[in-house]
Structure 1
Amino acid sequence: MMWPSSTASKVLTFLLLVTFIYCIYMDTFLFLRIQNYRLDNFGSSGENSSDSSTHKSILKKDSNYEDVLWVPCSINPLCHPTVKALMIDHINHYIYGPFCAIVDIALGISQRLLFITPNMISFFHVFVALIGAKLLTCQSLAARRFAVVLFQIRMFLDDLDGHVARERKNIKGERSLVGSVGFWVDGICDLLGVVAMMIGILIYLKNNPPRRGYKDTPVSTLPYHQLKEINTSEDIERDHTAEIGISYKTKVTFQRIVQVLGLFSGQMLLSSLAWNRYIDIYQELLENSPEYDMARRETMFKSGIFFFATGLWRIVNPHSYLHLLSLSIFCDKTWAFLKAVHYSGYLCLVIAVGTSEYLVDTIQSYVINGADGL
């Protein structure tokens, strides 16, 4: 049974406000945690430069973050900041991530249920996505809202497979194991889930084309089949000049639907490619290369410009797009959302890429070439 629309709107607005405040709160404390406490990524690298003694003294001044926690590291998303953790969207990092840890602890997936592999979880969330895609084609808003729930479960399972893989390899914090079998399986399963969602939306919009405005047309010029088509309460607006003509809502063409959805899908693809690229580059420069000066790598990781640049990807990465799309479907505003971002989203993507390219050059100059002036 559907809630009254006014009640649903109030509840949803309240939840969105709470989520927004929570994410801002967590971002603030993530930045403070990075600035004021020891970082695992730089505590074990060899000191190989003239700055090593300075770095040792810095580490002595820094406190251990685990000593001040009231939420244990096993479920605390702030405990082990990494490059990837700084670039994951807010919902996955601050909500689904801790929930994955809680579920894993409760069920013992990583330690006891060893027959459940991360790849099995990945394959299962593709199955969930296919069911959700089928429901997205339904005219019933309740069915489409249930599809949104299924796609959020899919995204949770996408987090869970990575969590289980890291736990079994004793890896702390979020990391991308680029080139591994699990990396490619996870990526392909994600792609299949997103494609299923786009196809479901396309079929729904094809069968229920959105309206794009009103058109005034003399009745005498309309052919019978078109007059019959618009002769419904949802097509006809109150007409004060019936002798002159009729005002009716025109339908968006299927070609236009494909165009808008294709442009949005293009954003998703480019965002995914760029997001993974910069995670790989930043990990290589700051986390995976002990031959580079440790103090300089840590200084760059703690810099405000790095936090800002990675923060852009928290907003424009493909998971954020999917969360916003899911919200628009739940609110029955799918077409309005797609129209709003099918061009403007590319501008946001260009800003994120441009900032990241500048930052990559800065990191290379500062960390590899030893340039000053950061």
Structure 2
Amino acid sequence: MMWPSSQASKILTFLLFIVVVYCIYMDTFLFLRIQNYRIDIYESVENATQESSTHKSIKQQNYEDVVWVPCTINPLCHPTVKALMVDHINHYIYGPLCAILDIGLGISERMLFLTPNMISFFHVLIACLGAKLLTCQSLVARRSAIVLFQIRMFLDDLDGHVARERKHIKGERSEVGSLGYWVDGICDLLGVTAMIIGILFYLKNNPPRRGYKGTPVSTLPYHQLKEINTSEDIEKEHTDVGISYKTKVTFQRIVQVLGLFSGQMVLSSLAWNRYIDMYQDMLENCTGYDAWRREDTFRSGTFFFATSLWRIVNPHSYLHLLSLAVFCDKMWVFLKTVHYSGYVGLVITVGASEYLVESIRAFVVNG
């Protein structure tokens, strides 16, 4: 290990507490910013032919005029549909860091030879190296792999940032159907696949164990006794409470658990991108719809809550949690915990989104 386990636990617990508090703080201020200040995508509402003098957006200030953190690095300045649905780490931590790195190195303005697609291809190479380290028995190597995968996710955020800066686009947006959209998606898929394959090989070579503690084998129930006897590998340990019989988890079970988790990732990614596309079409891209209704929907607490659910169950959040589990050497425990239960949260989020889509369509599209 890199350091004593007790020290590592204290440091990780403290850092996690700080991150959670920071994200809750930023979510709160994001909601207040949406409610109390003008929103970029609806600034054209001022020029509408309707009674604009009484509209709330006319009375509100520009957020840039009152905030002390420059909007070039402030993740609250330009709220968009996608910004409300991006996971907390990418939006509140990696996003500002990408902006700072871009300002420092001048990637968007001076390093024109470095394209967003090149950054995407590069983070796939980093993912392959990280996948190789994930197969190692050494916890230090696996933790190094997690560092590489976090760099990969940072670069995944950087390629989007550079693309938007060069096109002078404010805020997070998905340009569905563009070349960059497909390249970014394919590179993300390759990076995640590399991580899953690395974990699969590690678990295959170092299968987790399950056992029955504190009970002599002669007193075990028949179904448990049968499970132990059919195993090819049995380890017997003496403990304070009796004897522990441990068996290796079969490779078939490993594939099943990892496959179910991968299925969650795929479904989450497809649904997440689908709802971003639908919300953008109804609230941002189609100026033919009533501007007042679009803005009121975007400001509503219901919309904020529904999009906040995607902050938790989107594929990037899954990857961050899996990375944390690997770093803490709790990979198998995490996978077993979420390989079924994760689908419940995903179904709830999809159901809430479908209901919201129909409500928005009735209110904004159909009037």
Provide the rounded CA distance (Å) in 1 between the counterparts of 2:310 and 2:55: 33
Secondary structure at the counterpart of residue 238 of structure 2: coil
Secondary structure at the counterpart of residue 43 of structure 1: helix
Does the CA contact (< 8 Å) of 2:85 and 2:310 recur in 1? yes
Q: Which amino acid aligns with 2:17?
A: L
Provide the rounded CA distance (Å) in 1 between the counterparts of 2:127 and 2:363: 44
Asked if 1:39 is matched to 2:39, the reply is yes
Partner of 1:152: 150
Provide the rounded CA distance (Å) in 2 between the counterparts of 1:337 and 1:259: 14
Q: Which amino acid aligns with 2:30?
A: L
Map 1:1-374 onto structure 2 (within 5 A).
2-44=2-44, 52-54=50-52, 57-214=55-212, 216-217=216-217, 230=234, 235-238=236-239, 247-370=244-367
CA deviation map 1:91-139 (0-9, x unaligned): 0000000000000000000000000000000000000000000000000
Does the CA contact (< 8 Å) of 1:45 and 1:290 recur in 2? no
- Looking at both structures, which has the greater relative contact order when contacts are Cα pairs under 8 Å and sequence separation is at least 6? 1
Provide the rounded CA distance (Å) in 1 between the counterparts of 2:54 and 2:281: 23
Partner of 2:222: none
Secondary structure at the counterpart of residue 27 of structure 1: helix
Does the CA contact (< 8 Å) of 1:55 and 1:295 recur in 2? no
Query: How far apart are residue 7 of structure 1 and its match?
Result: 0.4
Query: How far apart are residue 66 of structure 1 and its match?
Result: 0.6
Secondary structure at the counterpart of residue 93 of structure 2: helix
Q: Which amino acid aligns with 2:237?
A: I
CA separation of 1:217 and 1:227: change in aligned 2, threshold 3 A: farther
Secondary structure at the counterpart of residue 307 of structure 1: helix
Provide the rounded CA distance (Å) in 2 between the counterparts of 1:240 and 1:173: 59
Query: How far apart are residue 251 of structure 1 and its match?
Result: 1.0
Secondary structure at the counterpart of residue 247 of structure 2: strand
Unmatched segments (≥5 aa) in structure 1: none
Does the CA contact (< 8 Å) of 1:82 and 1:173 recur in 2? yes
Query: How far apart are residue 2 of structure 1 and its match?
Result: 1.8
Q: Which amino acid aligns with 1:31?
A: F
TM-score, structure 2 as length reference = 0.93
CA separation of 1:343 and 1:27: change in aligned 2, threshold 3 A: same
CA separation of 1:55 and 1:29: change in aligned 2, threshold 3 A: farther
Provide the rounded CA distance (Å) in 1 between the counterparts of 2:18 and 2:240: 44
CA deviation map 1:255-291 (0-9, x unaligned): 0000000000000000000000000000000000010
Query: How far apart are residue 44 of structure 1 and its match?
Result: 2.2
Provide the rounded CA distance (Å) in 2 between the counterparts of 1:272 and 1:54: 39
Provide the rounded CA distance (Å) in 1 between the counterparts of 2:361 and 2:10: 49
Secondary structure at the counterpart of residue 55 of structure 2: helix
Secondary structure at the counterpart of residue 249 of structure 1: strand
Q: Which amino acid aligns with 1:299?
A: D
Does the CA contact (< 8 Å) of 2:46 and 2:52 recur in 1? no
Does the CA contact (< 8 Å) of 1:46 and 1:290 recur in 2? no
Q: Which amino acid aligns with 2:19?
A: T
Does the CA contact (< 8 Å) of 1:237 and 1:247 recur in 2? yes
Q: Which amino acid aligns with 1:236?
A: E
Does the CA contact (< 8 Å) of 1:236 and 1:247 recur in 2? yes
Query: How far apart are residue 185 of structure 1 and its match?
Result: 0.2
CA deviation map 1:325-349 (0-9, x unaligned): 0000000000000000000000000
TM-score, structure 1 as length reference = 0.91
Provide the rounded CA distance (Å) in 2 between the counterparts of 1:162 and 1:237: 55
Secondary structure at the counterpart of residue 115 of structure 1: coil
How many correspondences in the alignment? Answer: 357
Secondary structure at the counterpart of residue 236 of structure 1: strand
Q: Among the aligned pairs, what percent are the same residue?
A: 73
**More deviation in 205-214 or 194-203?**
205-214
Provide the rounded CA distance (Å) in 1 between the counterparts of 2:44 and 2:350: 31
Unmatched segments (≥5 aa) in structure 2: 219-224
Does the CA contact (< 8 Å) of 1:237 and 1:248 recur in 2? no
